[in-house]
Amino acid sequence: MSVFKTFRRLALAGLISLPVSAAAMELKISTLYPDGTSAVNALRAAGKQLAEETDGRVSIRVYAGGTMGDDRAVQRRIRIGQLHGQLAQAGAFASHYKDSQILNLPLSFRSLEEVDHVRETLDPMIREGFEENGWVVFGPVDGGFAYLMTRNPVASVADLRRQKVWLPAGDSGSAMAAREFGVSPVVLNVGAVLTSLQTGTIDAFAAPAVPALTLQWYSRVNHFTDMPLLYTYGILALGKQHVERLSDEDQATLRRVLTDAFAEMDRKERADNQRAMQALKAQGLEPVEPNDEQLSEWRKLADQATDRLVEGGQVSADMLERLNTLLDEYRGG
């Protein structure tokens, strides 16, 4: 028997180990963000760095503009391994970790400084919560405040109830809040919003400045209610089962490179949203400022909506208490 055959039989029997090199893996990431946006460009740049630092063992391919389908379709593809992750607004993953919605509660924040104070504590908890539920998450990435943008001026809750308001499909938390405000929303996928504004199917929506500007939604409305309705953020979520196929060394490199990239993306998206808001005002979008009485009613109903979310299991009472403690801490100086 040749030496080679003997060596091979011993290896198959498990009596000796053959050196095994880590297999190359291309992480396939889907996103609704259009090609050419700063978020997509930043993710591709991080993928290039990752490939360089792992000698090509780990790379990233981005499928932008929703070409892989909506959130449900993408997450189904991730489960079966056709895709490995998704860059999306955090609400797309709310069913996997309910308390991730803690930053999205209506009228919780009054300034970005409050957001920063709260996120310093809650961001690591959000990432840990997702990981415990099967997702390796990078972010949050600042999505800016969503403002109510309307064809007709809206200062009061009564004004809002007269509008045909868009609500994203599959967003159970927002649907529950809309009911508390007495709104009967028009539920649509993101891709149908502009056409629906053009045809008059809807005449109001809540969104941060960047999507309102880049998707041209602003061109079909005239006003925005000068009150931060809710804070939004995005994440990159990778299926943990896919990440664990990498060697320990490559996993560590992946986490380091993407953590740094998303910290930088967070800062850049904050600045982009602030510039986009100035651009919307320059385009003639007129602010409508609720008076003290109207603002009091908005906040009262927002608190009631939050209570319903807790009662419905959308957010835990413990996490809400953490949020309120941090806000009280900040507002108390």
pLDDT value at 20 more than 60: no
Residue 226 Cα to chain centre, angstroms = 23
pLDDT for 170 equals 74
Name the most confidently modeled range: 52-56, 170-174, 212-216.
Answer: 52-56
Would you give the DSSP letter of residue 315? Answer: S
pLDDT value at 175 more than 90: no
pLDDT for 16 equals 41
Please name each of the domains of the chain with its CATH number.
24-331 (3.40.190.170)
pLDDT for 23 equals 63
Residues counted in the chain = 333
The crossing angle, in degrees rounded to 10, of helices 172-180 and 292-311 is 130
Give the position of tokens 């599959």. 170
Report how far residue 239's alpha carbon sits from residue 64's, in angstroms, rounded to the nearest whole number: 18
pLDDT value at 204 more than 50: yes
Burial 225-237 (b: 16+ CB within 10 A, else e): bebbbbbbbbbbb
User: In this predicted model, which residue has the larger pLDDT, 227 or 174?
Assistant: 227
pLDDT value at 193 more than 50: yes
Q: Any residues with CB less than 8 A from the CB of 220 and at least 6 apart, and which?
A: 151, 194, 197, 198
pLDDT value at 2 more than 90: no
What does the pLDDT look like over 127-157, one tens digit per residue? 999 999 999 999 999 999 999 999 999 999 9
What does the pLDDT look like over 55-97, one tens digit per residue? 999 999 999 999 999 889 999 999 999 999 999 999 899 999 9
Report how far residue 196's alpha carbon sits from residue 189's, in angstroms, rounded to the nearest whole number: 10
Give strand ranges (E) for 45-165. Answer: 58-63, 85-89, 135-150
Q: Any residues with CB less than 8 A from the CB of 215 and at least 6 apart, and which?
A: 193, 194
What does the pLDDT look like over 264-282, one tens digit per residue? 999 999 999 999 999 999 9
Contact 70, 189 (CB under 8 A): yes
Angle at 76 between CA 74 and CA 80, to 5 degrees: 115
Helices (H) and strands (E) in the chain, counts: 12, 10
Would you give the DSSP letter of residue 23? Answer: P
Mean pLDDT, rounded, of the chain: 92
Give the residue ranges of DSSP H helices in 81-208.
112-132, 157-161, 172-180, 193-199
Lowest mean pLDDT among 50-59, 141-150, 184-193, 298-307: 184-193
Report how far residue 285's alpha carbon sits from residue 150's, in angstroms, rounded to the nearest whole number: 9
What does the pLDDT look like over 236-251, one tens digit per residue? 999 999 999 999 999 9
pLDDT for 235 equals 98
pLDDT value at 15 more than 50: no
What does the pLDDT look like over 219-237, one tens digit per residue? 999 999 999 999 999 999 9
Report how far residue 207's alpha carbon sits from residue 148's, in angstroms, rounded to the nearest whole number: 7
Contact 243, 254 (CB under 8 A): yes
Angle at 133 between CA 131 and CA 134, to 5 degrees: 70
* pLDDT grade for 169, boundaries at 50, 70 and 90: confident
